Amino acid sequence: MPKLSAGDPAPNIRLPSIDGTTFDMNEMKGKKVILTFFRFSSCPLCNMRIRRITQRWNEFSDDAVMVGVFDAGVGELKKRMKKHDVPFTIVADESYDQFEANGVKKSFGKFMWGAAKSPLTLLQATLRGYVPLTMSISKLSTIPVDILIDEDGKVVEAHYCKDTADHLPLEKMIAFSHGQL
């Protein structure tokens, strides 16, 4: 599937959330949405990213919606996310269908580069107990995507990460949540 671009309609996502509800992108009209396709539930880099967002959540606009999509079953994801007090929506895409439908790519080389360029983050993740519990090359090689969606349900920016450690800066996500992009 092709990558999303600015001006495209928001992805048509309807997935189970770890809070027991179902997230439906069609219900987000009128809201700014920050959508991230993470990797797998025990991904150390993903868990550190969740931690950093959670630590700065008070800087985001009160009416912004953030959704993290993981390649995982909802039960497993719920168990893994207990380490965080996540103030936003976390959903499970066990079938990997939404990842594929939205141009999320896999690259073992980019996975290795992301791991090699972020040893401090990986060390911090390990010390916090975020240890990858998979050796599946397929799951390890997923490259994250950050998507900013406006109140009209249109993509403002789709950031297809260069590697597993690359993401939109938190400052940019915070600015977007306040309508400053």
Say how far apart CA 16 and CA 79 lie, in whole Å: 14
Say how far apart CA 165 and CA 162 lie, in whole Å: 8
Average pLDDT over residues 55-75: 95
Nearest to 28 by CA among 15, 41, 40: 15
1-12 confidence digits (pLDDT tens): 689 999 999 999
Say how far apart CA 26 and CA 48 lie, in whole Å: 29
What fold is seen in the domain 14-177? Answer: Glutaredoxin (3.40.30)
Say how far apart CA 117 and CA 139 lie, in whole Å: 19
In the predicted structure, residue 123 carries a pLDDT above the cut 80: no
108-119 confidence digits (pLDDT tens): 778 777 776 776
Say how far apart CA 70 and CA 105 lie, in whole Å: 14
Share the mean pLDDT of the chain: 90
Task: Determine the pLDDT at residue 165.
Answer: 85
